[in-house]
Amino acid sequence: MNKQTYFISINQGSRIEIFTEPTDPALIQYEVEVDGEEVEDFLNLISRFREKDVEPEQIFVRPFNEPAADRDKQELKYDTRELFEMIYRYGTEKTRRELEELQRQNTRA
């Protein structure tokens, strides 16, 4: 299957989108080369992030439900790791270098 270039945009926490062209240069964007099935994998993962976005009303419905909050944090952590692994796997050489540098910075911190 033919690979096409897409840009994974990460903005303000869990707001993640996929574009066919670069967008606002102020956003964090990672260039990936994927086929149709791989695009679907990204879209499915992005939809999981959208489902987990915290709405203000959720805070008031279960303010002290610590086990649920801990579970949500673990799921978000897992999905975030999966997202960056996919970006690295399908990323261009430039994208991979950027992620490797980010990893180096995080291990120093």
Whether residue 82 is contained in a domain is answered as yes
Instruction: Return the exposure string of 39-72: e unless at least 16 CB atoms fall within 10 Å of the residue's CB, then b.
Output: beebeebbebbeeeeeeeeeeeeeeeeeeeeeee
- The reported pTM is 0.81
CA 73 to chain centre: 15
Whether residue 85 is contained in a domain is answered as yes
Residue 38: band (very low, low, confident or very high) from pLDDT cuts 50, 70, 90: very high
pLDDT per position as a tens digit, 60-73: 555 666 776 677 77
Whether residue 14 is contained in a domain is answered as yes
Number of structural domains, the chain? 1
At which residue do the structure tokens 């994208």 appear? 95
Residue 80 and residue 83: Cα distance in Å, rounded? 5
Whether residue 26 is contained in a domain is answered as yes
Q: Which domain holds residue 27?
A: 4-54+66-108
What is the average pLDDT across 92-104? 95
Q: Mean pLDDT lowest for which of 19-23, 58-62, 75-79, 103-107?
A: 58-62
